[in-house]
Amino acid sequence: MFPLYDTIVVGAGHAGCEAAAAAANLGSKTLLITMNMQTIAQMSCNPAMGGIAKGQIVKEIDALGGYSGIVSDKSMIQFRMLNKSKGPAMWSPRTQNDRMLFSHIWREKLEQTPNLDFWQDSVVGLIVSRGTIKGVKTALGNKIYSKTVILTNGTFLNGIIHVGEKQFGGGRMGESKSVGITEDLIQLGFESDRLKTGTPPRIDGRSIDYSKVEIQEGDDEVVGFSFDKSHLAFQDKKSQRCCWISYTNEKVHEILRTGFDKSPMFQGRIEGVGPRYCPSIEDKINRFADRDRHQLFIEPEGWNTVEIYLNGFSTSLPEDVQYKALQCIPGLENVKMFRPGYAIEYDYFPPTQLQYTLETKLIPNLYFAGQINGTTGYEEAACQGLIAGINAHLKCHNQEPFVLTRSEAYIGVLIDDLINKGTDEPYRMFTSRAEYRTLLRQDNADMRLTPLSYKIGLADEKRMFHVEQKNCLVEEIKNQMKNISIEPHVINPYFETIQSSPISERTNSIKILLRPDVHLEEMKKYSLAIEKVLKNIPHEVIEQAEIQLKYESYIEKEKEMVEKANSLESLIIPDNFDYHQVKSLSAEGRQKFVKIKPRTLGQAGRISGVNPTDIQILMVYMGR
């Protein structure tokens, strides 16, 4: 009934969808197994994509030829570019999405993908022969064989849902947990642990008094995630749905505290550690007892539904406590609740057990992606799925692995952090984790990554042509701007509008552009020479040229830092290197080296617990 597949992907969440699409689009015969065909790419928590640092990841996925950016653009109901008041390294796109439409479009994209088969079933075990993965066993009694397997099980591995004192098995509300995979992996020698995440109650938008809450509108300029702008659901502010903001208060906190004695988190029924940067509301009022209010975002679940997601009110307290507290929030006095918030606890496998390709060190041809690796968030999961799918295909066809470094992508930062530092709490990406974030901006993801993806055959010729064209236009603008000088009477009227001091002599246009609040799009309104250079040039190209000109010194400085760091990356540590022979290494350093087996001295230096002296000792020893 089943052929021999190149790749089997277990789980159809964000990681699984990207993994299956990547492997199949590259030419591997791929099978996607999911427990429910109706919940492919389900937005299990908030109906949104992107945000701080996460938006950069979605742009990188799109640049590499993944689908998350396209699906997000097609299903968005609101777009905002966060941190626009800061420098471009901090700009982060975010979409509010139609939950059902997002899932529907993802399924459409997958069904239109050649080489991709589907099977609705639950995987209950792994087929391993002579230490190598050979396939999977399912609840229906099938044995399905493949050259590689990618596990993207999300929160389903032995998942337990908590609502107050109630607890029951489940991968998410209304869906059963997955049993058998964890047990097989532990038997094979893998380490596992437990993590926890949660979600807020869903409420009836018809019961909200919108006159008592702050409105939050979308941006005037809709950029989206995909570098192909044909996928945008809309292009202006008036076409978007609004979100709103409200706040908790002391009365809300007081009611929530009455449920602490029944809280699974405070009473020790939850063993797993929750996300530090997305805590439950009870955790917030417990940890930040001095704060008298917390911000809440009232977010629509779609175009044609009254269901509302209350972002910031994640909780596992009893339903009656949740409901009473909601009624004390401004605007929610007459609220109706569709379903309560809940916490979910699940198995994960510390990611120090992985290689850079996301293949496990213990079992060849077996890959992990998403929450199984201890991450949190759709975006973090999706990018891991993409990398695992690419590398599973390359492994099947005896090609070199595809690895992104910390200086090439946020995706590279994420994977490097996971395999070198591990995580004992749900890992979330932040701009602060990327030491080269000036280079890794959301606006240049296509220029950084599409050539790499094109080389392995995932990004198509059309995408590559657009990147090359963009590069040429940007360089042309930069070169021509160097030769344009502007008279005071031409530019001083512009300076008046932005309260910038006037010039008294002819000045080079780039020197003018370096001023704060000065932009090329505005300069062209005053200078005929600049208007001629920018005529018929797309906005994103002009913006890219402006960023490169404005931040040239910062960009060059980071490039120098990358070159210095790469000198350690070129020092390869042999696979059979015996750390026990190096007696002067610290005990912790030796233990970490033996466990993680770093490929280079650069990687060795980023391992948590390793000190600089250990690296110097290795350098000296290897030099001998």
**pLDDT score, position 624:** 52
d(CA 135, CA 129): 9
pLDDT in tens, 34-54: 999 999 999 999 999 999 999
555: pLDDT strictly greater than 90 = yes
Instruction: Give residues with Cβ within 8 angstroms of 37, minimum separation 6.
Output: 12, 107, 118, 120
Contact at 8 Å (CB) between 41 and 17? yes
Contact at 8 Å (CB) between 388 and 415? no
Between the CA of residue 573 and those of 23, 227, 594, what are the distances in Å?
30, 39, 12
Mean pLDDT of 580-585: 88
- Which residues partner with 197 through β-bridges? 344
Measured distance between the N- and C-terminal CA atoms of the chain, rounded to whole angstroms: 58
Instruction: Locate the domains of the chain by residue range.
Output: 1-45+101-402, 461-555, 570-623
Work out the number of other CB atoms within 10 angstroms of the CB of residue 129: 9
d(CA 120, CA 38): 10
Token pair belonging to 390:
């690419």
Mean pLDDT of 465-494: 96
CA triple 609-613-615, angle to 5 deg: 80
d(CA 564, CA 224): 35
239: pLDDT strictly greater than 80 = yes
Contact at 8 Å (CB) between 446 and 541? no
Averaged confidence pLDDT in the chain: 94
66: pLDDT strictly greater than 70 = yes
Contact at 8 Å (CB) between 96 and 47? yes
pTM of the model: 0.94
623: pLDDT strictly greater than 80 = no
Pick from 270, 253, 439, 426: which is nearest to 344 by CA?
270
**pLDDT score, position 237:** 87
d(CA 43, CA 21): 18
469: pLDDT strictly greater than 80 = yes
**pLDDT score, position 38:** 95
**pLDDT score, position 568:** 80
Mean pLDDT of 267-283: 80
574: pLDDT strictly greater than 60 = yes
Token pair belonging to 21:
């699409």
Mean pLDDT of 82-86: 94
329: pLDDT strictly greater than 60 = yes
93-119 CB burial, b ≥16 within 10 A, e <16 = bbbbbbbbbbbbbbbebbeebebbebb
Instruction: Give residues with Cβ within 8 angstroms of 100, minimum separation 6.
Output: 301, 302, 305
CA triple 247-250-255, angle to 5 deg: 100
Work out the number of other CB atoms within 10 angstroms of the CB of residue 349: 22
Contact at 8 Å (CB) between 171 and 35? yes
Mean pLDDT lowest among 98-112, 348-362, 581-595: 581-595
301-323 CB burial, b ≥16 within 10 A, e <16 = bbeeeebbbbbbbbbbbbbebbb
Q: Which long-range contacts (CB under 8 A, 24 or more apart) does 311-314 make?
A: 311/46, 311/48, 311/200, 312/200, 312/281, 313/200, 313/201, 313/248, 313/281, 313/341, 314/198, 314/199, 314/200, 314/278, 314/279, 314/280, 314/281, 314/341
Contact at 8 Å (CB) between 385 and 24? no
- Which residues partner with 215 through β-bridges? 244
Q: Which CATH class is domain 570-623?
A: mainly alpha
Where residue 592 falls among pLDDT bands split at 50, 70, 90?
confident
Between the CA of residue 50 and those of 96, 223, 354, what are the distances in Å?
9, 13, 26
Evaluated on CA atoms 315, 319, 321, 324, the torsion sign reads: positive
What proportion of the chain, given as a percentage, has pLDDT over 90? 83
Mean pLDDT lowest among 13-27, 332-346, 565-579: 565-579
What is the spatial order of strands in the sheet that 214-216 belongs to?
A: 214-216, 243-247, 295-300, 307-311, 202-204, 337-339
Contact at 8 Å (CB) between 363 and 133? yes
Where residue 377 falls among pLDDT bands split at 50, 70, 90?
very high
**pLDDT score, position 386:** 98
Pick from 82, 71, 7: which is nearest to 41 by CA?
71
275: pLDDT strictly greater than 80 = no
Q: Which stretches within 330-440 are classed as H helix?
A: 378-396, 410-421
Mean pLDDT of 467-490: 96
Token pair belonging to 582:
């190096």
Mean pLDDT of 276-291: 86
Q: Which CATH class is domain 1-45+101-402?
A: alpha beta
**pLDDT score, position 70:** 98
- Tell me 332's DSSP state: -
Between the CA of residue 214 and those of 48, 60, 297, 330, 521, what are the distances in Å?
19, 33, 9, 10, 32
What proportion of the chain, given as a percentage, has pLDDT over 70? 100
State the DSSP string of 150-203.
EE--TT-BT-EEEETTEEEE-SBTTB--B-SHHHHHHHTT---EEEEEEEPPEE
pLDDT in tens, 208-221: 999 999 999 999 99
Contact at 8 Å (CB) between 35 and 122? yes
Where residue 616 falls among pLDDT bands split at 50, 70, 90?
confident
For the structural domain made of 461-555, what CATH number should be given?
Answer: 1.10.10.1800
Mean pLDDT of 78-95: 96
**pLDDT score, position 270:** 79
